[in-house]
Amino acid sequence: MQELTGRQKRHLRALGQRLTVMVSVGVEGDSDALVQQVGRLLAAHELIKVRLPAGTGTARRQLAAQLADKADALCAGVVGRTALLYRPNEGLPTDKRVSFD
């Protein structure tokens, strides 16, 4: 999957400010069930907010990157305990898709 440019990441973070958290990572971390749930949410929404467990900033960024990799998505950023994951979906109606124009 193609990497996001800095401008695209900024755009996604701006869109993500008004989103609510759709999934929380629990004690088990990035389990198979969590990855499947994230995959289903990304298929329906393209951009989702994920609540990460407490820990160091480095550990949270690594967990977000691992989760994005397993879900075949891109991590648009991690702020505090919240990560934004993005996976384009050409099958969604144009009014529900993220546009970088």
Give the tens place of pLDDT for each residue, 9-42.
999 999 999 999 999 998 788 889 999 999 999 9
Phi, psi of 19 (to 5 degrees): -80, 155
Question: Mean of the per-residue pLDDT values for the chain?
Answer: 91
Domains by residue range for the chain, with CATH: 6-88 (3.30.110.60)
Which ranges constitute the DSSP H helices of the chain?
6-16, 32-45, 57-70
Beta bridge partners of 77: 84
> pTM to 2 decimals?
0.91
pLDDT mean over 63-81: 94
Greatest C-alpha distance within the chain: 39
pLDDT given at position 21: 95
pLDDT given at position 1: 66
